[in-house]
Structure 1
Amino acid sequence: MKSRKWTIGAVVMTFSMLMGGCGKEVAKPVDIVEGVDKCDVCHMNVPNDHNATEIVLQNGKVLKFDDIGCMHRWTKEHENESVEAKFVRDYLSQEWVNTDRATYVYDKSFETPMGYGIYSFKDKEAAEAFVKEKQTGLVMSVQELDKHTWERSMKKHGKHKGDSESDQHGSKDDQHGMQDNQHGTQEAQQTQN
């Protein structure tokens, strides 16, 4: 009698465990629709390229970003949101990769839509080979990326509302440099005349 109760209990427990694991689908990234999808932070169009990133919320809503820096900003501004998964694109193949499994390379000279200069790779070896080939860049794990300073290159990019003071300071430095350069050009022209 005891063995029969034990067998029934084991069957019920096994069935419960199997049913519990079958109820929820694994979060997956969705296709980018160029010309339609806009970044959930900067509201720029999201190109279907290696810079695109996505967040899947627990309610199933998918947020799209044109730059990993925008995804980082959204995450910091919405810390209480229930995020199911985050995805980046592999720089070489443009495959979607879970952020926790990717390796990142940063250099301020790397061009990205909002100037954060971070590329994602599906494996560390590819990231290291990229840095070796370009002879520049810092390879980072997802843990190191979380501690990253998230500074933006101001060369070709606008500013997000609420950017950090260091970004604003960099912008002022760029403006001063441009003014100095213009002043030097005017002096050179006057000397020639």
Structure 2
Amino acid sequence: MKKQIFILFAVLGLGYGCSVSPKPIDYGHVGCHYCSMTIVDKQHAAQLVTTKGKVFNFDAIECMMNYLKDEDNSTIALFLVNDFDQPGQLVDATKATYLISENIPSPMGEYLSAFANEEAAVKTMNKEGGNIFTWAETKKRFKP
């Protein structure tokens, strides 16, 4: 009986320790996994979570995209970006709409912002100028 209880707790512990979920970014204290710059911008940060639950934080969407150029994307469970309209709120990067506008600087100078919904991106584009992109189109812009 004791052995069964030990096995149950071991299995539960392993499952809990390897959860695949976003983790809050500690703005102002954690560095970008790609460029090592301290992450302070809550509108442009990004995060990757691997299938094993390991989290990689980025100070800008472009840093995440550059990192993905050289990595095996099959080990990534979650692609996340900050919603420009809800600073600090991570959303699914594969479903986000992207805007490149020279009137909205991003930390690494690519002028790349993400929006949880297309309407918000179009509204911002109409105000600030620029071009709208999907996840697939954005990934292509960063391919070698």
TM range (shorter): 0.7 to 0.9
Partner residue in 2 for 1:57: 50
Judging by fraction of residues, say which structure has more strand.
Answer: 2
Distance in 1 (alpha carbons) for counterparts of 2:117 and 2:73: 30
Distance in 2 (alpha carbons) for counterparts of 1:48 and 1:138: 21
One-letter code of the match for 1:133?
K
Distance in 2 (alpha carbons) for counterparts of 1:104 and 1:75: 17
Name which one, 1 or 2, has greater alpha-carbon Rg. 1
One-letter code of the match for 1:97?
V
Task: Indicate yes or no: 2:113 matched with 1:119.
Answer: yes
One-letter code of the match for 1:38?
G
Q: Pick closer, same or farther for the CA change 1:120–1:80 going to 2, 3 Å.
A: closer
Q: What count of residue pairs does the alignment treat as equivalent?
A: 128
Deviation at 1:47, TM superposition (A): 1.4
Q: Percent identity?
A: 27
Q: Which of residues 95, 102, 116 is equivalent to 2:96?
A: 102
Q: Which of residues 101, 119, 130 is equivalent to 2:124?
A: 130
Deviation at 1:51, TM superposition (A): 0.8
Question: Per chain length, whose mean CA-contact separation is higher, i.e. which structure has more relative contact order (CA < 8 Å, sep 6+)?
Answer: 2
Matches within 5 A, 1:4-83: 27-47=20-40, 49-79=42-72, 82-83=75-76
Does the 8 Å CA contact 2:65/2:142 hold for their aligned counterparts?
A: no
Does the 8 Å CA contact 1:56/1:86 hold for their aligned counterparts?
A: yes
TM-score, with structure 1 as normaliser: 0.60
Deviations 1:140-181 (A, max 9, x none): 11111122258xxxxxxxxxxxxx8xxxxxxxxxxxxxxxxx
Q: Which runs of 5 or more structure 2 residues have no equivalent in the other structure? A: 1-14
Deviation at 1:63, TM superposition (A): 0.1
Q: Pick closer, same or farther for the CA change 1:65–1:149 going to 2, 3 Å.
A: closer
- Aligned to 1:104, the other structure's residue is in SS state strand
The farther-off stretch of 101-110 and 137-146 is 101-110
Distance in 2 (alpha carbons) for counterparts of 1:85 and 1:28: 8
Partner residue in 2 for 1:92: 85
One-letter code of the match for 2:39?
V
**CA RMSD, Structure 1 to Structure 2 (Å):** 2.3
